[in-house]
Structure 1
Amino acid sequence: MPLSPTPARALRAAASALALGLALAACGTSAEPAAAPSGSASDAPVDGGDLVLAIGNDPISLNPSGIGSGNDTLYVTRQLVDSLLWQDPADGSLEPWLATEWSSSADATEHTFTLRDDVTFSDGTPLTAESVKATFDDIVAAGAKSGAAPSFVGYVGTTVVDEHTVTVAFSAPNAAFPQATSTVALGVVGAATLAVPFDDRASGTGVVGSGPFVLDHYTKDTETVLTARTDYAWGPDARRGAGAPHLDSVTFQVAPEAGVRTGSLTSGQVDVIGGVQPTDIATLEQSGYPLVHRANPGITFGLTFNGASPIGSDPAVREAIALAVDPTEIRDTALVDGFAVATSVLASTTPGVADVSEHLVTDPEGAAEVLEDAGWDKGADGIYAKDGVRLTPTLVWITNFSPNQTAVELIQAELKAVGIEVTLWSGAVPDFQAKLRSGDFDLVWGNLSRADGDVLRTQYSTAATNFYRIDDPTLEGLLQEQLAVSDPAERDAVLAQAQERLVSEHWVLPVHELTTYLGLSPDLHGVELGADSRLDQLTTAWLAG
């Protein structure tokens, strides 16, 4: 059933009904390099109003550097904290934000940032170089508890040069660090936050940022309510809407069922919904509800092998599975055209992406030939076996994106047709993470969003999380080399080699890109997606009527 309406929402619902015949706002349903804001450029923003946004999952943690539930967590925490740099979704370039300027040493082991001198946290305390140092030191001390930890490999420390200048040093080159400082996970927090034990910040207790909104209250599995800062005045100059929010408040309501979210939008009970399902895209568009969308940068949805399992360590089996799976069939069955078939491990919106589609070939007959040449024989039950062991890999996945089930079941059917019997395993996020840590799997279906090619290192390097245990010294060398190259063009060339290696050696089979879709009420304007294809700060958003 739809979410419970508020009186103000009911009044706007009537106005929305009159607007259903209007043309859609700037965004359509085709994938674009950057997300256009909702609303026309000629619209004059209206101050005031209480925005209600329906999300699919409880944030789990409101601690910006903690580990939450993914996109829905970041939608909330992005409103609470600012970052040193801002990444432009149009071209992936880094722009000033809390830092007015920055520089890196020639070997990318040191990065210096000069801060604005007019920024305050929500408790009134000023942003200083010590704030940045304390935030980064806190992340490193938290270790695996922090989602930002992979960005600090080799961290030596942060030095306070003066009140508004810091230098962050690493024991080895870290060319990806400036981009990392644009993410929510490295958002700077005040001393009041750091005084609260890391584990106790999940509920928002003591979370004090310099962002345009502050936490009013958080009710687990129900809602998170934020109120606007009227004194906010330091958004990125390169992004329109650098000043205080037009909105008075934002409520993130948890609605796990996609149908409930869509029904709540079309009945006027919420203003925007996240996680619009592919089956609802055309319906919303045809009914006059604007869609804001952008392909997610980072690692595309696909299959990754466990290099330490008997199946994942067998090059012939990896190649056969890659040949047997048809990415286009999966996209066409589980999704719609707004979700592109992958041409690389990295999505098209990722800086450093390289087209390696020449290595992505579907050939079921070729898959059978590869297996038989490697000594696998098809049994009476139609399943290949070798040395008395049947070819029955375990594929693990989670339901964080509803088309996932259709995708993995189709993969299961495609492989069964060749003679490979896949067992599917799924569980809650904590159980899934435990499964990865244990190594009790052969294949993983999933993706990982980040607007920098270094996501390949954090995902696949044996020196990082090492979930996939890939034993490939050539690949490992490329993943570490790209981190040491400060010249963007040279770094992209190394990243291209890493992408080709992952696909040509069949460690990863890219299938499709993830595209973020938000559905909006016709009277909501100025909602934007950032370079990470997640909800940007809502300083530009406003409600008509």
Structure 2
Amino acid sequence: MFLKARRSSRARTAAAGLAAVALLATACGGSSSSGDANKDTLVVYTGQSGDWQLNFNPYSPTMLEGPGTIFEPLFFFNNIRDVEPRPRLGKSFKWNADGTQLDVELRDDAKWSDGQEFTAEDVVFTLDMVSKNATMNSTGYKGVATAVDDTHVTIKFTEPSFMDGPQVLGRIWMVPQHKWKDIATPATDVVKEPVGTGPFMLDEFKAQAFTLKSNPAYHSGEPALKKIRYLALSGNQSGEAALKQGQIDWQTGPVPDIANVEKNYPGYKAITIPMNQVALFTCSNAALGCQGPQTDVAVRKAIYYAVNRTQINSLAFENTASEVSPGAALLERDKDQISGELQEKTAPMQPDEAKATQLLESAGYAKGGDGIYAKDGKPLAMTLKVVAGWTDYITAVDTMSQQLQKVGIKVTAQQVSWNEWSDARGRGNFELLIDSLHQGPAPDPFYNASYFFSTATTAKVGETANPNFSRFSNPAVDAALAALKGIDPEDDAARQPHFDTIQTEIEKSLPYIPVLTGGTTSEYNAKKFTGWPTKDDLYSFPAVWARPEHSEIYLKLKPAGQ
């Protein structure tokens, strides 16, 4: 998600944005302008447009907050740099020789925020719950966990599962058995009063803002950061205005004139990291209930060739984005795993309108009198959902709509609330929507593929997919993912043929039509807090909406002067 203010619409919405900021400053207290009372409070804006809907279930696709802050993983894996994982609730772990058994030692000094002890039984309960609820199991976990004693857990797999390590250890959020055992529907319960082991606890919830407070009994010591206030604003212009007034300490997303943040926002700095891939998500699989022209691969490929990525980058993203691979691996981080068998290493930055029209006409589409292609009497027209207030994305989809009109494809942008967008994405009730493919717990293209391109992480339309929202299902990709789980991650030669299969099959289908690799940019208050990640010290991916990465940053931050 990008949060850049759209320059062409700023004048129209600035007054409303400033009013919203003024209201929130009154209701919640400002950050740097409210005196010593808020010197330990970090005010963040995640891009939330409209009121918050209470939901602290870390496994819900519509949860507000929790992973890493309230609910912890066993370890933290840095997905930008290849470094040793940092212990959270775990102390150490070890695989057996063939990757079928993972032994984990837990810390013995962790407590739940209600005072009860954290033990191996909580880990086993959490893992069992995730494995029994498909919509909660975004990592595809299939192990069987046993508590050896209070501080040791053994997880057994029916097949070699080396690649499951960072997912099980780093992306499953431990929950208290004594609280969750009585929840009848853990996949959908909103968890109004979260109890976790994390460094923060829920302090106060309101529709326009909620606050986390530091956990004084946190096993690694109470954080120096005492409170985190999450604001809901009316959109990106409000975020920009709040940043300008010093009412926000951290937001993720480009702002106008991104190159001069330190000049335009005194006391603030910015950092940009290429990480998440902006894409047009398509409900692509008719066999699972998807409906619409986008279920035709020829249509998806025509869109792929018709868009002008250079123009989109300039108009929507201030040229902070970069090229993207049609095989979905990151061009920079994963350069050693990019397949040499791809037809195109990168998606074209300039449109190929002739290629787009050739693809459509070869698939039986004919252009009507209105200039729009049609087939079997149905015009090539689709709706593209975008979150209201995500103005950089709105700019991108408006630009793409105009570009696609030139080749006879009609795309109508539909702005909806985040809640409506998220629900449609999960249930497959969309033709196109704009979002980005996120990365996994470790710097390896396996995880992105296992999340978004695995049959195990999707569902029929009407049921919640998590996170293979396109409903992509390909036996060759599934087999390659399964094979990679059983290969030592250090064995590059043995792994590469499977990456070749995954990337070439993705390129053939394009269920997520790649747009650009997003330059994820954050602006942060360096005058008020110290400890922020830098390009020389990327101890965590710096995005306020990245979980649990943001919690590592919260743990490092200190009020200036401490």
Same-fold call, TM cutoff 0.5: yes
Contact 2:79 2:439 in 1 (8 A): no
Amino acid at match of 1:78: G
Tell whether the 8 Å contact from 2:31 to 2:41 is kept in structure 1 after alignment: no
1:121 has 2:112 as partner: yes
Does 2:85 correspond to 1:95? yes
* One-letter amino acid of the counterpart of residue 407, structure 2: V
* C-alpha spacing 1:319/1:66, structure 2 compared with 1 (3 Å): closer
Deviates most, 410-419 or 115-124: 115-124
1:194 partner letter: W
Residue in 2 that maps onto 1:163:
150
Amino acid at match of 1:229: N
Partner-residue secondary structure (3-state), 1:285 = helix
Q: Let me know the Cα RMSD of the aligned residues.
A: 3.6
Deviation at 1:298, TM superposition (A): 5.2
Q: How many positions carry a matched residue from both structures?
A: 495
1:63 aligns with 2:52: no
Q: Give the aligned partner of residue 9 of structure 2.
A: none
Residue by residue over 1:186-228, the C-alpha shift from the partner in whole angstroms, topping out at 9 and shown as x without a partner, is 22233443256247963541x2222222222222x23222222
In structure 1, distance between residues paired with 2:58 and 2:268: 29
| Residue aligning to 1:40 | none
Equivalence map 1:451-470=2 (5 Å)? 451-452=440-441, 453-466=446-459, 467-470=469-472
Distance in 2, Cα, partners of 1:313 & 1:296: 29
| Cα offsets for 1:374-429 (capped at 9, x unmatched) | 44332322222344443334444444743222212222221210122224445344
- Other-structure match for 2:180: 194
Say if 2:540 is the partner of 1:530: yes
Q: Does structure 1 residue 307 correspond to structure 2 residue 285?
A: yes
Partner of 1:13: 33
Which one of the candidate residues 374, 395, 405 is aligned to 1:406? 395
> Once the 2 structures are TM-superposed, how far is the Cα of residue 142 of structure 1 from its aligned partner?
4.6
Return the TM-score normalized by structure 2.
Answer: 0.76
Residue in structure 1 matched with residue 464 of structure 2 by the alignment: none
Contact 1:454 1:483 in 2 (8 A): no
Whether contact under 8 Å (2:382, 2:412) holds in the other structure is yes
Following superposition, the deviation at residue 368 of structure 1 comes to 1.9
- Provide the residue aligned with 1:154 in structure 2: 142
Gaps of 5+ in 1: 17-46, 235-242
Deviations 1:91-141 (A, max 9, x none): 144514122221234554432211122333333333321121122223344
Deviations 1:132-178 (A, max 9, x none): 1122223344542x3xx1224434x3111222111223445544322
Give the one of 314, 332, 353 matched to 2:314.
Answer: 332
TM-score of the pair, normalised by structure 1: 0.78
Map 1:65-464 to 2 at 5 A: 65-69=59-63, 73-74=64-65, 77-97=67-87, 98-144=89-135, 146=136, 149-155=137-143, 157-183=144-170, 186-195=172-181, 197=183, 198=186, 202-205=190-193, 207-219=194-206, 221-234=207-220, 243-270=221-248, 272-279=249-256, 281-282=258-259, 284-287=261-264, 288-295=266-273, 297=275, 299-304=277-282, 306-308=284-286, 309=291, 311-344=293-326, 345-348=328-331, 354=338, 357-358=344-345, 360-361=347-348, 362-399=351-388, 401-432=390-421, 435-436=424-425, 441-452=430-441, 453-464=446-457
Instruction: Provide the C-alpha distance between the structure 2 equivalents of 1:542 and 1:106, rounded to a whole number of angstroms.
Output: 42
Q: Distance in 2 between matches of 1:88 and 1:348?
A: 18
Q: 1:112 to 1:426 in 2, by over 3 A?
A: farther
SS in 2 for 1:536: helix
- Give the Cα–Cα distance (whole angstroms) in 2 for the partners of residues 222 and 286 of structure 1: 30
Is contact 2:276–2:520 with CA below 8 Å preserved after alignment? no
Question: Matched residues, percent identical?
Answer: 23
Seen in structure 2, the aligned counterparts of structure 1 residues 129 and 200 have a Cα distance that, compared at 3 Å, is same
1:475 Cα offset (Å): 3.2
Asked whether the equivalents of residues 202 and 212 of structure 2 are also in contact (C-alpha less than 8 Å), the reply is yes
User: CA contact under 8 A between 2:313 and 2:320: conserved in structure 1?
Assistant: no
Question: Which ranges in structure 2 are unaligned for 5 or more consecutive residues?
Answer: 1-18, 460-468, 534-538
Shift of 1:349: 7.0
In the other structure, the counterpart of 1:511 is 515
What amino acid is aligned across from residue 201 of structure 2 in structure 1?
Answer: V
